[in-house]
Amino acid sequence: MKSFTPLTRKNDNQPVRYLVVDDSVFARKNLGRMIESFGGEVAGEAGDGCTAITEYARVKPDIVLMDVTMPQMEGIEAVERIVRQNPDARIVMVSSVGYQDNILAALQKGARHFVQKPVKPDVLYEIIRYVLNDDTANVPAAPVEVRS
Amino acid sequence: MKMQLIQPFISAADCVLATALEGPAKIGDLTMDQEDYRPRGYAARISIHGDIEGRIVVDMTSETALRVASALSGQQVEAADETVRETVHELANMMIGNAVTLLNDHGYQFKVLPPEQHTSDEPVQSKSDTEELAIFFDTSCGRIFLSVRMRYNLRERANRVPVPALS
């Protein structure tokens, strides 16, 4: 996988911590590999919206990557609940269904961005940089290499 | 089945396969059939309900599924296990999700159900009043088959047509 300049938190220069929410184990692993290539750390995972809410409270991630269609509680409802309790939560929707109504609903509930599957690492990297904005600093270190 | 209904599925599958497998996919010939679809190995069936209803099957042999799983997971997958099933389902989700996006942008509304697994031992049952359209894609991992059986649900759509206000 392509290497990226690591994204780190500005306040303590530590890796950005992610919560990855998707009912597909394969999709979570795939996003996890991308996160590694961005120099980040998967702080938690969830396979549905309910677990995402409890995991968010437990790990307090810097960013959440959230699927839309999931069992028990869908991603958009989980976004609403997380953002209600944590207005500063940074959530990026990651879904194969990217029609306008879906995107608008997610943004209205508090998601910061939307990326359609299949996810291209370059696109996700730029979106995360944008969403984290002032809270991250690119450390001019050697690119991270992920062994596959 | 009208071409305008099937075209988004072909376009989305072509685009998703090329992106996910990082290589061009060559589109094969279209065929029509009335029989129930019999999977070749690993198959994911996705049903849709709404203005359009029916089902789509994404299917590939076990050998191709192993190669696809290895390519998508970035590591060699040796045995036909849960990873392979998950990969086929996720690939199907991406293909159908992208097609649904295209159809929704044209005003069609419907719900997509989660994928169900089918194996070569069991034919995929479908309503007999719709014909099946099958196509395949030759990829770097092998041949991937797409079977679409759908129809317009005119009653559902008619229920949503807004009534113009009287002037």
**pLDDT tens, position by position, A62-117:** 999 999 988 888 899 999 999 999 999 999 999 998 888 889 999 999 999 999 99
State which residue of chain A sits closest to B102, comparing Cα positions. A99
Write the pLDDT tens digit of every residue in A8-19.
Answer: 988 898 999 999
Query: A30 and B75: CB-CB below 8 Å?
Result: no
Give the domain CATH number at B148. 3.40.1550.10
Query: A116 and B98: CB-CB below 8 Å?
Result: yes
Write the pLDDT tens digit of every residue in A74-84.
Answer: 899 999 999 99
Would you place residue B163 in the very low, low, confident or very high pLDDT band (cuts 50, 70, 90)? low
Phi and psi at B156, nearest 5°, equal: -60, -45
Mean pLDDT calculated for residue range A23-43:
94
- Distance (Å) from the C-alpha of residue B19 to the closest C-alpha of chain A? 7
**What is the extent of the structural domain holding B131?**
3-157
On whether ipTM exceeds 0.90, the answer is no
Query: A148 and B75: CB-CB below 8 Å?
Result: yes
Mean pLDDT calculated for residue range B149-154:
82
Q: Which of A52-61, B30-39, B130-139, B151-160 has the highest mean pLDDT?
A: A52-61
Write the pLDDT tens digit of every residue in B81-124.
Answer: 788 888 889 999 999 999 989 888 888 888 888 788 876 666 66
**Residue where the block lists tokens 């049903």:** B47
The residue among B52, B70, B50 whose CA lies nearest residue B60 is: B70
Optimal mutation site among B9, B17, B48, B90, interface A, most CBs of chain A within 10 A: B90
Assess if residue B162 is contained within a domain: no
Cα–Cα distance, A105 to A107 (Å, whole number): 6
Total tally of structural domains belonging to chain B:
1
Assess if residue B150 is contained within a domain: yes
pLDDT at B31: 87
Q: How many Cβ atoms sit within 10 Å of the Cβ of residue B164?
A: 6
Assess if residue B81 is contained within a domain: yes
* A108 CB-contact burial (10 Å; exposed 0-12 / middle 13-18 / buried 19+): exposed
- Distance (Å) from the C-alpha of residue B131 to the closest C-alpha of chain A? 26
Tell me what the pLDDT averaged over chain A comes to.
89
Assess if residue B143 is contained within a domain: yes
Q: pTM for the complete prediction? A: 0.83
Assess if residue B25 is contained within a domain: yes
List the 115-134 stretch of A: residues with Cβ below 8 A of B. 116-118, 120
B62's torsion region: left (phi>0), alpha (psi -120 to 50) or beta?
alpha
Answer whether residue A140 shows pLDDT above 60: no
**Lowest mean pLDDT across A53-67, B11-25, B107-121, B135-149:** B107-121
CA angle B54, B56, B60 (to 5 degrees): 160
Tokens read off for A86: 């944590």
Q: Which of A40-44, B34-38, B107-111, B160-164 has the highest mean pLDDT?
A: A40-44
Cα–Cα distance, B112 to B110 (Å, whole number): 7
Would you place residue B156 in the very low, low, confident or very high pLDDT band (cuts 50, 70, 90)? low
Query: B114 and A27: CB-CB below 8 Å?
Result: no
CATH class of A14-132: alpha beta
Cα–Cα distance, B44 to B89 (Å, whole number): 6
- Distance (Å) from the C-alpha of residue B8 to the closest C-alpha of chain A? 13
List the 18-47 stretch of A: residues with Cβ below 8 A of B. 23-27, 29-30, 33
The residue among A95, A99, A49, A97 whose CA lies nearest residue A75 is: A49
Cα–Cα distance, B150 to A45 (Å, whole number): 36
Q: Which residues pair with B47 in a beta bridge?
A: B55
CA A46 to chain centre: 12
